[in-house]
């Protein structure tokens, strides 16, 4: 009896965000789950950014690649302006609905 060894690569949501519709659904789910934790939103935008060309995205919004990675990391604290610029550059639009 031969024992086979399976190897797995780390899971990365960015690998599955193949178009803007999927990215929008991913961000919408993050918004629904985030509650008051704005870091979840920043991290979700970071994941969407990593699904494409981060260097090109950073150039379009006027940031360095490293600065963009830092702002959209779990430890980042991006300004609302940065969130809006990133979303717009990714082809996404934030909107609000009444919860009442």
Distance of CA 24 to the CA centre of its chain: 10
Task: Kindly state whether residue 70 falls inside one of the protein's structural domains.
Answer: yes
Q: Tell me the average pLDDT across 59-76.
A: 91
Q: Say how many domains are in the chain.
A: 1
Is residue 81 within 8 Å of 70, Cβ to Cβ? Answer: no
Q: Tell me the average pLDDT across 73-97.
A: 88
> Helix (H, G, I), strand (E, B), or coil: what is residue 33?
helix
- Distance in angstroms (rounded) separating the CA atoms of residues 69 and 82: 12
Crossing angle of helices 38-50 and 20-34, in 10° steps, is 160
Distance of CA 30 to the CA centre of its chain: 9
Q: Tell me the average pLDDT across 19-44.
A: 91
Task: Kindly state whether residue 61 falls inside one of the protein's structural domains.
Answer: yes
User: pTM value?
Assistant: 0.82
Task: Kindly state whether residue 68 falls inside one of the protein's structural domains.
Answer: yes
Task: Kindly state whether residue 73 falls inside one of the protein's structural domains.
Answer: yes
Q: Tell me the average pLDDT across 1-26.
A: 90
pLDDT score of 57: 93
Q: How confident is residue 68, by pLDDT bands cut at 50, 70 and 90?
A: very high
């Amino acid at each position: 009896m031969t024992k086979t060894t399976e190897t797995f690569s780390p899971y990365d949501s960015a690998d599955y965000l193949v178009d803007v519709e999927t990215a929008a659904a991913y961000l919408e789910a993050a918004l629904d789950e985030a509650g008051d934790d704005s870091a979840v939103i920043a991290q979700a935008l970071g994941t969407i950014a990593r699904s494409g060309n981060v260097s090109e995205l950073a150039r379009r919004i006027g940031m360095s690649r490293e600065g963009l990675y830092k702002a959209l990391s779990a430890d980042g604290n991006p300004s609302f302006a940065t969130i809006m610029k990133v979303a717009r550059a990714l082809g996404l639009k934030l909107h609000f609905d009444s919860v009442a």
